[in-house]
Amino acid sequence: MQDLLDSALARITAAGTAAELEAVRVEVLGRKGVLAQLSKDMGKLSADERAARGKFINTAKQSLEGAYEELKSKFEAEALAKRLDSEWLDLTVPAPGARPGSLHPITQIQWEIEDLFRSLGFSVLDGPEVETEHHNFDALNIPPDHPARDMQDTFWLEGHHLLRTHTSPVQVRGMEKLGPPLRMIAPGRVFRNESVDASHEHTFYQLEGMMIDRNVSAGNLIYFMKTLLTAIFKREVTVRLRPGFFPFVEPGFELDIRCLICGGDGCPVCKQSGWVELLPCGLVNPHVLRMSGIDPNEWGGFAFGLGLTRLVMMRYAIDDIRWLQSGDLRFLRQF
d(CA 291, CA 106): 33
Side-chain half-sphere exposure of 133, counting CA atoms within 13 A:
13
* Interhelix angle 105-119/218-233, nearest 10 degrees: 130
Q: Please, what is the Cα angle at 126 between 178 and 217, to 5 degrees?
A: 55
Give least dist CB 280 to ligand DAH, A: 3
Instruction: Candidates 303, 308, 311, 312: give the one binding ligand DAH (CB under 6 A).
Output: 303
Stretch that binds ligand DAH, among 109-117, 118-126, 278-286, 327-335 (CB under 6 A): 278-286
d(CA 138, CA 31): 95
Give least dist CB 244 to ligand DAH, A: 7
d(CA 244, CA 145): 20
Smaller CB distance to ligand DAH: residue 141 or 168?
A: 168
Cis peptide preceding 251, ω within 30 of 0: yes
C-alpha dihedral, 149 to 140 to 285 to 252, nearest 10°:
-40
Q: Is 259 in the site for ligand DAH (CB under 6 A)?
A: no
Smaller CB distance to ligand DAH: residue 300 or 305?
A: 305
**What's 206's DSSP letter?**
E
Instruction: Candidates 68, 117, 224, 304: give the one binding ligand DAH (CB under 6 A).
Output: 304
Give least dist CB 96 to ligand DAH, A: 45
Smaller CB distance to ligand DAH: residue 21 or 109?
A: 109
Report helix, strand and coil shares of the chain as percent, to nearest 5.
Answer: 45, 20, 35
Instruction: Candidates 249, 260, 276, 314: give the one binding ligand DAH (CB under 6 A).
Output: 249
From residue 22, alpha-carbon distances to 8, 38, 162 in Å are: 14, 21, 77
Give least dist CB 95 to ligand DAH, A: 49
From residue 126, alpha-carbon distances to 114, 182, 197 in Å are: 12, 15, 28
3-state secondary structure of 269: coil
Smaller CB distance to ligand DAH: residue 174 or 280?
A: 280
Instruction: Candidates 174, 282, 300, 301: give the one binding ligand DAH (CB under 6 A).
Output: 282
Q: Is 280 in the site for ligand DAH (CB under 6 A)?
A: yes
d(CA 60, CA 54): 10
Smaller CB distance to ligand DAH: residue 105 or 307?
A: 307
d(CA 152, CA 279): 17
Give the footprint of ligand DAH on residues 158-197 (CB under 6 A).
166, 168
Helix (H) / strand (E) element for 280: namely: strand 275-284
Smaller CB distance to ligand DAH: residue 21 or 256?
A: 256
Smaller CB distance to ligand DAH: residue 11 or 166?
A: 166
Stretch that binds ligand DAH, among 64-72, 121-129, 172-180, 277-285 (CB under 6 A): 277-285
- The residue number whose beta carbon is nearest to ligand DAH equals 305
Smaller CB distance to ligand DAH: residue 25 or 192?
A: 192
Q: Does residue 247 contact residue 151 with C-beta atoms inside 8 Å?
A: no
Stretch that binds ligand DAH, among 109-117, 228-236, 258-266, 279-287 (CB under 6 A): 279-287
Q: Is 113 in the site for ligand DAH (CB under 6 A)?
A: no
Positions touching ligand DAH (CB under 6 A) are 166, 168, 208, 246, 249, 252, 280-282, 303-305
